[in-house]
Amino acid sequence: MFLVPGFIERFLHRMASPPHFYAITERLMPWLWGIFSLLLLSGLYSGLFLAPPDYQQGESYRIIFIHVPSAWMSLFIYSVMAMAGAIALVWRIKLAEVVAISSAPVGAGFTFIALVTGSLWGKPMWGTWWVWDARLTSELILLFLYLGVIGLYNAIDDKRSASRAVAILALVGVVNIPIIHYSVEWWSTLHQGPTVTKLDKPSIHVSMLIPLLIMAVAFKFYYLIAMLQRAKTEVLVREQNAQWVKSMTEQELAS
């Protein structure tokens, strides 16, 4: 651990203990909300008003400011989930279990948003709501993987074993995602040949890239907020018999 500065290591150690985690996230939350709304407003404003219309697609390309960051997040969150799962399996850190399972619904949400916005964009551009294109198909399969994780967690009563099951499944999934992705890509080019989706895209202009990146960072913050909020609730449920939860609720009731 000599690569990690001491204060970060201490911070991580403290975050692994539920009461500290709860207190720190409670204090972080307003800041996260502030940064998120700032980024969201500036990203949306520069994306929807400042960025020029596309020379081919006109105004309807602007959906990428939602669509592309969501698609990025869908993969990012799955890998976070798998990493947290691996940590939970190896070191048995309760907080990693909580982070893994709290990420799943957020990731599923982003995957769903990416699919819906893609389909909304596809209607005017390709003339159809759905194409069995490689990316769409692998995104759909990713959604199924997320739903499998959520379903498995809810099916097992004992939440500690449920989290271990979810961690195993997430790791199996993360090994499989590249295989699925490339096989689907291979399949669709094999069956359909180059279609509308293979349009040679000109590399994106900087006036569109900046809002896109701002939105991507804003979505990361949204993920943090949503995941931490879920994690807080999950920690409270799991630790409901612990002393710190009792004294905290007593304090809240007294005030």
Partner 1 sequence: MSLLQAFLAIVRRDLVLAFRRRSEIANPLLFFILIITLFPLGVGAQPKLLQAIAPGIIWVSALLAAMLSLDGLFRSDFDDGSLELLLLSPYPTSVLVLGKITAHWLVTGLPLLLIAPLLALLLGISERALGTLLLTLLLGTPVLSLIGAIGVALTVGLRRGGMLMSLLVLPLYVPVLIFASSAVDMATAGLPVSAQINIMVSILLLALVLTPWPAATALKMSIN
C-beta of 125 vs 156, nearer to partner 1 = 156
187 is an interface residue for partner 1 by CB under 8 A: yes
- Stretch of 12-20, 49-57, 124-132, 181-189 lying at the interface with partner 1 (CB under 8 A): 181-189
Closest separation between CB of residue 99 and partner 1, Å? 19
As to burial, measured by CB atoms within 10 angstroms (0-12 exposed, 13-18 middle, 19+ buried), residue 32 is middle
What is the Cα–Cα distance from 96 to 74, expressed in whole angstroms?
A: 19
State which residue, 87 or 89, has the beta carbon closest to partner 1.
89
CB 114 within 8 A of CB 160: no
Minimum distance between the CB of residue 136 and partner 1, rounded to whole angstroms? 14
* Residue from 171, 204, 210, 248 in contact with partner 1 (CB under 8 A): 171
Q: Which stretch binds partner 1 (CB under 8 A): 52-60, 172-180, 192-200, 216-224?
A: 172-180
If one counts every other C-beta atom within 10 angstroms of the C-beta of residue 103, the result is 28
User: Which residues make up the interface to partner 1 (CB under 8 A)?
Assistant: 89, 141, 144-145, 147-148, 151-152, 155-156, 161, 164-165, 168-169, 171-173, 175-176, 179-180, 183-184, 186-187, 190-191
